[in-house]
């Protein structure tokens, strides 16, 4: 669609302020109706090495950073709150105390400036921002983060789950292994660099049931290897090789099943270069194109919420601030998305 057409119905001129606060990251961003990211700022809470995210500490961090980040997002977009058409927030799934900070900030802004308030599912934010930035239309999508491990297809007004983890996510697998080895959290990058020094493949459970995956046995086995004195490099290497192979296998099946020519990967673990290289090969085998989100936008950020909020709002969705809430557990395939056709 040309920008002139967009201007015709005015949506290109619209702007959405999005607020992300599901876990480690508090983010704020302004995105326009035609998908231009005018600003995207964030701050990430870092727990001490060897320990995981503490929900209360994360929420304190978010509350302390929120005012300056929201102001900075508006300033870099050269907009005032009066110019914003709607306020979107990550309503879930995530850590209750962290989610509530974002919801309180968004509610307050929406109520004070009389703006429509739009709740957004965090993971749908990853997927929709991914489609916006890659230009993919109906991609087989691998969503790999701390909160999710799913292989999805956009079909019939929803993101449909083709396969998913039955227990821990890949992000949790890497984080919990990292924490066990005393690494800082999130541990993905450290595990990746350790894995670069490994070469011996240790035997780990490779569990696929139907199109679903299980990683909990792998986590237990990997910890046992560490406890019994195996080289950390070899354990990190083996966990990456085995877990990513499982993801690739189900992604390849989804490509073959759907006939989609696009494979997209989003979420924090998408930053891993070994995973990217393996998916590149999966796509090639199936005659598909691998669509990678720029690393800056593959992890949690305000832009995913602002853009998805924009999509919801332009399809008529907003909520009364008094009735707005956060949902700690919320399946993404329960959300109806009118912009996804059959």
Partner 1 sequence: MDRPIEIKELRMIARGAEADILEAEWMGVRVILKRRLPKEYLNPALDARVRYHRTVREAEILHEAKLSGVPTPLVYFVDPVNAEIIMEMIQGFRLKELLESGRRVDLLGVVGQHLGRLHSGGIVHGDPTTSNFILSGKVLYAIDFGLSFRSRAPQDLASDLHVIKEALESYHSDLSEEAVQLLMSGYSGAFDGSSEVIRWLRRLESSGRYRGA
Contacts with partner 1, residue ranges (CB under 8 A): 158, 160-161, 164, 166, 201, 203, 206, 209-211, 241-242, 245, 248-249, 252-253, 255-257, 277-278, 280-282, 285-286, 329, 331, 333-334
Q: For tokens 């660099």, what's the residue?
A: 193
**Other Cβ atoms within 10 Å of 324 Cβ, number:** 19
Extended beta strands in 138-261, E state: 140-144, 149-155, 158-164, 207-209, 212-214
Site of tokens 């969705």: 317
Nearest approach in angstroms of CB 245 to partner 1 is: 5
Nearer to partner 1, 28 or 144 (CB): 144
Nearer to partner 1, 111 or 230 (CB): 230
- Helix and strand totals (H; E) in the chain: 11, 12
Please identify, using beta-carbon distances, which residue of 209 and 322 lies nearer to partner 1.
209
What is the closest distance, in whole angstroms, from the C-beta atom of residue 72 to partner 1 in the complex?
Answer: 37
Least distance CB 155 / partner 1 (angstroms): 10
Nearer to partner 1, 6 or 221 (CB): 221
Three-state SS at 58: helix
What's the min distance (Å) between Cβ of 209 and partner 1?
6
| Beta-sheet pairing, 117-121 with 15-20 | unpaired
Taking alpha carbons only, the member of 21, 98, 90, 63 closest to residue 306 is 90
Closest approach of partner 1 to the CB of residue 20, in Å: 24
Integer Cα distance of 148 and 168 in angstroms: 9
Nearer to partner 1, 121 or 179 (CB): 121
The end-to-end CA distance of the chain, in Å, is 20
Choice between 31 and 282, CB closer to partner 1: 282
Taking phi over 0 as left and psi of -120 to 50 as alpha, with beta for the rest, 199 belongs to alpha
207-209 and 158-164 strand pairing: unpaired
Take residue 277 and report the two structure tokens written for it.
Answer: 């290289």
Tell me how far apart the 2 most distant CA atoms of the chain are, in Å: 67
- Nearest CA among 206, 203, 205, 182 for reference residue 194: 182
Q: With respect to partner 1, which residue has the nearer C-beta, 40 or 252?
A: 252
Q: How far is the CB of 251 from partner 1 (least distance, A)?
A: 9
Name the minimum Å distance from CB 332 to partner 1.
9
Nearer Cβ to partner 1 (80/284): 284
Count CB neighbours of 75 within 10 A: 14
* Least spacing, CB of residue 86 vs partner 1, in Å: 27
The answer to whether 106 touches 89, Cβ cutoff 8 Å, is: yes
């Amino acid at each position: 669609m040309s920008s002139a057409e967009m201007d015709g119905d005015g949506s290109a001129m619209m702007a959405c302020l999005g607020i992300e606060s599901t876990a480690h990251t508090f983010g704020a961003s302004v995105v326009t109706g035609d998908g231009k990211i005018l600003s995207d700022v964030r701050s990430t809470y870092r727990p001490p090495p060897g320990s995981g995210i503490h929900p209360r500490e994360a929420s304190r961090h978010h509350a302390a950073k929120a005012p300056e980040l929201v102001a900075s997002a508006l300033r870099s977009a050269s907009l005032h709150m009066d110019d914003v058409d709607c306020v979107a927030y990550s309503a879930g799934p995530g850590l209750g105390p962290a989610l509530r900070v974002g919801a309180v900030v968004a509610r307050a802004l929406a109520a004070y400036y009389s703006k429509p308030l739009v709740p957004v599912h965090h993971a749908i934010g990853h997927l929709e921002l991914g489609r916006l930035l890659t230009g993919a239309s109906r991609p087989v999508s691998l969503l790999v983060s701390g909160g999710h491990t799913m292989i999805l297809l956009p079909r019939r007004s929803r993101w449909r789950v083709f396969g998913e983890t039955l227990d821990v996510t890949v992000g949790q697998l890497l984080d919990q292994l990292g924490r066990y080895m005393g690494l800082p959290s999130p541990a993905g990058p450290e595990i990746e660099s350790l894995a670069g020094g490994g070469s011996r493949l240790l035997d780990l459970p490779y569990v696929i049931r139907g199109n679903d995956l299980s990683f909990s046995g792998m986590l237990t086995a990997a910890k046992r290897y560490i406890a019994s004195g195996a080289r950390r490099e070899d354990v990190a290497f083996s966990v990456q090789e085995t877990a990513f192979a499982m993801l690739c296998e189900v992604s390849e099946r989804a490509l073959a099943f759907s006939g989609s020519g696009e494979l997209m990967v989003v979420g924090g673990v998408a930053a891993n270069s070994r995973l990217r290289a393996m998916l590149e090969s999966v796509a090639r085998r199936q005659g598909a194109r691998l669509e990678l989100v720029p690393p800056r936008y593959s992890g949690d950020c305000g832009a995913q919420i602002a853009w998805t909020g924009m999509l919801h709002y332009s399809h008529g969705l907003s909520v009364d601030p008094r009735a707005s809430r956060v949902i700690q557990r919320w399946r993404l395939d329960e959300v109806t998305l009118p912009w996804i056709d059959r």
